[in-house]
Amino acid sequence: MTDTTPTTESDDTLPLQQDRLWRDERWTARIIKNEEDDGWAVEMTRHGDPEPALVGPWTMGRDKKNPKPLDGPAFSTLVKTAAEVIRRHEQQLHATLNRSVTVSAGERRIRVTLAIVPDEDNPSATLSAFDEADDSELARVNVPASFKLSATSASAWIDADFARPR
């Protein structure tokens, strides 16, 4: 297959369709030599990301020596798969950085959340309490990013009248 759009080496955002390289406005698929064996691999990189979102094996061509050329359906499938990998990674990161527990305090149910802001130099976190009946915020304090939220720590914070945990 040949290029469908003229490009220059410095322009890596224009659409391109070659046997071993496909690119659209958001993604680049590149067939590369698999360093692990004699086969081929494909890497999918979202534009602007430093690393590929997906690297996987690629099918050999009919000559059993060269890779099968990329085509439109394969590129579409790779885009969907790579986007799903990124989506799942983002969900996992969100779940790691945002925790929530609900505890009983007297006659009320209180939802306590911990939101961590990752930062290499100065990570931080916010501990918040919400009345489950009307979702009103009862308290909010800054805590170390290392704070461990559990039902026990949430209850202790509530019992201390929402004083900043040490």
What is the token pair recorded at 139?
């308290």
pLDDT band for position 13 (cuts 50, 70, 90): low
Q: What is the pLDDT of residue 49?
A: 95
Tell me how far apart the alpha carbons of residues 141 and 113 are, in angstroms, rounded to a whole number. 11
CB of 85 closer than 8 Å to CB of 54: yes
3-class DSSP assignment, residue 72: helix
3-class DSSP assignment, residue 79: helix
Angle at 70 between CA 28 and CA 6, to 5 degrees: 60
Is residue 107 scored above 60 in pLDDT?
Answer: yes
Predicted TM-score (pTM) of this structure: 0.68
45-79 pLDDT tens trace? 999 999 999 999 999 988 888 999 999 999 999 99
CB of 16 closer than 8 Å to CB of 7: yes
CB atoms within 10 A of CB 166: 6
Is residue 1 scored above 90 in pLDDT?
Answer: no
